[in-house]
Structures are given as structure tokens and as C-alpha cells.
Structure 1
Amino acid sequence: MEDKKSMYSLRKTIGILGLALPMLLLVSHQQLLSSMSHYYYTAGGVFFILILSAFGLILINYRGYPKQEGESYSDRLITTVAGICILITVLVPTKSENPLGSLFFTDTPYLFGHESNGFLGAIHLLSAALFFMLLGYMSFSKFVLNHNASASRNRLFKRCGIIVWGSIGMLVAIFVLETILGINFDDIIPAYTFWLEWVAVYAFAVAWLVKGRIDKDIQDVMKKFTVFAEQ
């Protein structure tokens, strides 16, 4: 029972941190940048580093359910790889170029920051993309394996997974078009990467919150509030 409670708590922590991340970045820097990763070079970098590091550590230590018959991968394997990917995303930051706003810490080296190292930038993008794809897989394929869950909950998990995959797929497609056409889509839709990342983060955050039974917690609080109000 304690193991289940601990697992629920970890899931809700991931969900809450996911919901908080984009807002904390915007509030701390008060400028819209081209991607969440660019906030690494701002006052919001403390939230970017801490929350993504928390994602990584929680996911690496997340047990999940044992591999069932017919499954190719266990929850533990998927979340461990996802956790390692997001830690790489933190340790190997994005390039500081084309931020759409002002950055700090660019005149002198800031931790592992760099201005235009294409190799490091590619590692950052690939690790971030794999992190999102794996969390989309968790939502779409793993969270629905509880046979006691309602059909509506399972539909929500699948939709969240599709939204995560769709958002990242759109980013990849736009990056390819930018390379082929030699244009910058930020001139058409400013900070499109940031907005699509926000959608992906919120999709997996909602899935993890619901999987952590946040709805039951809310119901319990409402019951206690009703009892208190009636006294």
C-alpha cells in the first residue's frame, strides 16, 4: 500500500512540476523566448534546471508496474531512459542564438552554455525529443493497462499521448521545412517552439496527474470542506 502511495505521489509531483514550468519561466524572465530551453540563459534558468533535473531523478527512480506478458518494455526501462534524456537536455543546453528576446550570461560562459555549437545543439534537441516521445508512449501505451480503470480515463491517457507526439511531430516538421526553404517560422508565428513545447508539457502533466489520482485527492478535500462547512 505504501509503495502505491509513493508511486501516486511521484506521478503527481511530475504533473505539478510540468504545469508550473512554463509559467515560472515566463514570470521569472517576463519575456517570451523562442523556446523553453532558451530560458537556461535567463533568471528563469534556475527553474528550468531544477524542474528538468527533478523530472530526471524522479523518472530514473520511478518503478512503475512490472512488465506484463506481451509487453516489449517495462515501465522502469522507459522512464529510466526518459530520465537520462532529460538530464542530458539540462547538461547540454541549447544554442543561445535567435532567442527572440534578451538573454543573460552570454558574455561569459555560463555553466555549459554555448553560442552556436551545432553538435551540442543537436544532442540537446535529440535528447529533449526522445524524452517527450517516451513520455507520450507512457501515456498512450502504459497508463491504459490498468483493467480496472474507466474507459474515459484511458481515452484521456491516449489523447494526452497523441497530443505530446503531435506537438513534437509538428516541431520536427517545421524544423525540416525551415532547413529546406531557408526561412524562419518565428517570423510567421513568434516563439512557435515555446508554444508547442507548452502544449506537450501540459499534455503529459495532465496524464501523470490523473494517473496519480489527483481527482481522488480533490474529491477528498471537497468532502472534508463540506463536512467542515456543515458543522
Structure 2
Amino acid sequence: MRAIPELPDQTNVLVISYLTIRRAIGISGLALPVVLLVGGWITGIPIQDNMSSYYHTGMRDVFVGTLCAIGVFLFCYQGYGWAENWTANLGGVSALGIALCPLDFNSDPLLQKSVHGYLHTFSGGVFFSTLAFYSLYHFPRESRLEAEPHLWERKWIYRTSGIVILVSLLTMGIYLFFLDDDWKQLLTSYHFLFWMEWIAVWSFAAAWLARGRAIIADIAVDVLAYSSELLLKKRHAGSHPGLKQDEDLQKGPLDETNSNQS
């Protein structure tokens, strides 16, 4: 009978940790607008009205590839319960929807000629809303459960990121739904949607990098914690300016008597 070969003592197992996925999502979001802008400048592509318009340029592969990667990372991410898992899955589906259902060429996001164009616009709104929900609800809750260092500062970063995303969405909604054509043309000439999307993307990237304990994010958290501590000490000293002097005056004679007796 043929002998069964022995398995090796150690097997190489590929493990993608939670921290790695969080960092990958954050780095992808951080790099996307920069690569689109700089890569477009190098290749002679002007700044587009919005990031989605880069699909119709030579930077298409960067745009589609990055969003597909973010979508896959979100699918791989497992949270603390079914609610967070569904949030991640919804974010993953919407990211893939943005990547695979392009916006119509040279068009207003609200005035599309195709079904995939409207799916793109809808997916974009769902994607940013999902990431805002992560920053405002899931991340602060998880941070407390995992007892992360500098908990207050991390929660501040998460919630600030979520608020910035929501404000960006609200601003883009006002631009798309309520402004007249003259104001739209004026803001479009300054690539308004592109810069607002950049702000929203970097906001969610900051939250995911902080959640992933990336080095640059941890440094920012430490600086914020140190600054908060100094501010609290200064405020406490300012509110009780004579407290230390009174304590010294009260303790001084007693200490002097004790020293003389000894």
C-alpha cells in the first residue's frame, strides 16, 4: 500500500487581519483622488467635473480598480454583529456599483441617459452614506469594545469624519437639486463636485486609517491626546491661579518647623 506523505510541520496560511483590511481601505481612499489628479496632470488630462468622469479618460483603470478593491475589502470585513456585516456588504455593493456602472459621458449626475448612469449616481450616495454611518456609529462603538488607547480622541476623529462626509453629501445635494443653472455653471467651472468628493473620500480614509491603527494615524491621535492634555492643564491652572500659591503658603511654615525640629 502506498504510504501517505506526511504533512509539513508548518503550513503557510494567508491571514488578512482586521487591521490590514482597515488600513487597505483607508490607503485606497487616501490615494484615489491624488492619483487621479496627478496621473491626469502627467498624462495631459484636465481636472474633471467629478471623480466619476475619470472613467471616460485614460485614468479609467485607476478609478475602477481602486473602487473594486475597496468593494472587495468591505466584503471581506467582518464586524461585531449582523448589522455591521450588512453595512459592510452594502458598502461593498455600492462601491462595485460605482466602478462597474459608469456615469454617462459629459453629463449631469442627475440627468442620465442610461440605466447604468442612474445606478452609478444612486450607488455613490449609498456608498458615502454607508461610510458616514460607519464613522458615526460602528467605529465609536467598536473602539470602546476593543479598549483602544486614547479612546476620546479616536471617537472624536471618527465622528468628525462622519460629520464631514454628511456635510459634503448635503452640500453636493444642494448643488445638484436646488441651485439654478447660472450658479451650477459657475461652481462647475471650479470643479466643485470633484473637490467635495475629495473631502468626503479623505474623511472616510482618515477614519479607516485611525481604526486600522496605521502609524500616521496613531501619531495624529497621540498629538491630539497630548494637545488635549496640555489644554486641560492650562485651563485648570487658569481657573485656579492662586491654588498652588495658597498650598505653598500653608505648607511652608509647617515644613520649616519640621525641618528645624529634625
Question: TM-score, normalization: structure 1?
Answer: 0.77
* Distance (Å, rounded) in 2 between the aligned partners of 1:127 and 1:153: 28
User: Structure 1 34/50 Cα, relative in aligned 2: closer, same or farther at 3 Å?
Assistant: same
What displacement does 1:218 show?
A: 6.5
Equivalent residue, structure 2, for 1:112:
none
What displacement does 1:213 show?
A: 0.4
What displacement does 1:123 show?
A: 1.5
Deviates most, 33-42 or 186-195: 186-195
Paired residues of 2:209 and 2:217 also in contact (CA < 8 A):
no
Pairwise CA RMSD: 2.5
Q: 1:132 aligns with which of 128, 135, 143?
A: 128
Paired residues of 2:91 and 2:130 also in contact (CA < 8 A):
yes
Paired residues of 2:158 and 2:207 also in contact (CA < 8 A):
yes
* Distance (Å, rounded) in 2 between the aligned partners of 1:185 and 1:196: 14
Return the letter of the residue paired with 2:215: D
Equivalent residue, structure 2, for 1:38:
53
What displacement does 1:121 show?
A: 2.2
* Distance (Å, rounded) in 1 between the aligned partners of 2:112 and 2:96: 20
* Counterpart mapping for 1:1-231 below 5 A: 6-30=17-41, 31-66=46-81, 74-98=83-107, 117-145=113-141, 146-147=143-144, 148-149=147-148, 150-178=151-179, 181-183=180-182, 185-188=184-187, 190-215=190-215
Q: Which runs of 5+ in 1 are unaligned?
A: 68-73, 100-114, 220-231
Q: Which secondary structure state, in structure 1, belongs to the residue aligned with residue 103 of structure 2?
A: coil
Looking at both structures, which has the greater relative contact order when contacts are Cα pairs under 8 Å and sequence separation is at least 6?
1
Paired residues of 1:34 and 1:98 also in contact (CA < 8 A):
no
Paired residues of 1:35 and 1:197 also in contact (CA < 8 A):
yes
What displacement does 1:87 show?
A: 0.5
Q: Which secondary structure state, in structure 1, belongs to the residue aligned with residue 38 of structure 2?
A: helix
* Paired-residue identity, %: 28
Question: TM-score, normalization: structure 2?
Answer: 0.69
Structure index of larger Rg: 2
Paired residues of 2:206 and 2:217 also in contact (CA < 8 A):
no
User: Structure 1 4/204 Cα, relative in aligned 2: closer, same or farther at 3 Å?
Assistant: farther
Q: Which runs of 5+ in 2 are unaligned?
A: 1-12, 220-262
Return the letter of the residue paired with 1:56: G
Q: Which secondary structure state, in structure 1, belongs to the residue aligned with residue 128 of structure 2?
A: helix
Q: How many residues end up aligned between the 2 structures?
A: 195
User: Structure 1 81/217 Cα, relative in aligned 2: closer, same or farther at 3 Å?
Assistant: closer
What displacement does 1:186 show?
A: 4.0
Paired residues of 1:16 and 1:209 also in contact (CA < 8 A):
yes
Return the letter of the residue paired with 1:136: A
